[in-house]
Amino acid sequence: MTETDLDLIEGSIYFLKIPELKQLLTDAGIKPTGSKQTMINSLIAYVKGDSTRPSAPQFTDGERALRQKANQYDPTVFIVPGVYTNNRKSRELFLTLIGRHFSFTTYGMDWIKDRWAEGTCPTYQAFAEFWQEEYLRRKNNGAFKSKQTLQRVQFFRAMKDRNLSKGELEDAWAREREHHATRAIASIRMIIENRSKA
């Protein structure tokens, strides 16, 4: 399989829905866990032949002790795995630290998980600073750079001059998504089959 083929498959993976991602990961022998972006990353790694998975993060006794304080909602409190949740109290704190434009985003959660994978726990304040900086960067670039979001946005922009009704646009998008999803599923199933024979 050429580099171009891999790039085409990777691009099409972003059109898959969560049940499709979970099924392909299961078929590939990979546990389908985490956010949609995490599953996409796992599937892309598998397609490219790198199915190694990071080991679970290890935390020091001091970090484990932070769990007792982690239920407090204060900018200096650490965001601790196994304790932190996207609940109303954490949202209210982020709205206070960042502003009314805050929302829980994939890039924000991925940043937290990356810090955990490194064996560290960020504070609410550190997360708020990262989130605001990344939000402004993406806003100033004219578009948010998540591939799974941009697929739909770019498609609708390309279709804007065709004078289609909202229903016709949605039908056209459904066909486009189905085309890419079918290609991704067929290609990945072929890779899984070939690897099972090896």
Q: What is the mean pLDDT of each run of 10 residues along the chain (198 residues)?
A: 75 88 91 80 85 49 60 82 80 91 84 85 93 85 54 78 88 91 92 85
Q: E strand or H helix at 160, and its extent?
A: none
What are 123's strand-pairing partners? 78
Residues 82 and 126 both lie in one domain: yes
Q: What is the pLDDT of residue 150?
A: 61
Please give the residue range of the domain that contains residue 189.
3-53+174-197
Q: What is the pLDDT of residue 90?
A: 86
Domain count, the chain: 2
Residues 12 and 83 both lie in one domain: no
Residues 92 and 115 both lie in one domain: yes
Quote the CA–CA distance of 154 and 72 in Å, as a whole number.
Answer: 42
DSSP 172: H
Q: What is the pLDDT of residue 171?
A: 92
Buried/exposed code over 103-116 (b: 16+ C-beta within 10 A; e: otherwise): eebbebbbbbbebb
Residues 68 and 46 both lie in one domain: no
Quote the CA–CA distance of 180 and 14 in Å, as a whole number.
Answer: 9
* Nearest one of 10, 91, 65 to 43, comparing CA atoms: 10
**Contact in structure between 119 and 57 (CB atoms under 8 Å):** yes
Cut 0.75: pTM above it: no
In a domain, 13, yes or no: yes
Residues 70 and 101 both lie in one domain: yes
Q: What is the pLDDT of residue 79?
A: 86
Q: What is the pLDDT of residue 55?
A: 41
Residues 44 and 96 both lie in one domain: no
Residues 89 and 31 both lie in one domain: no
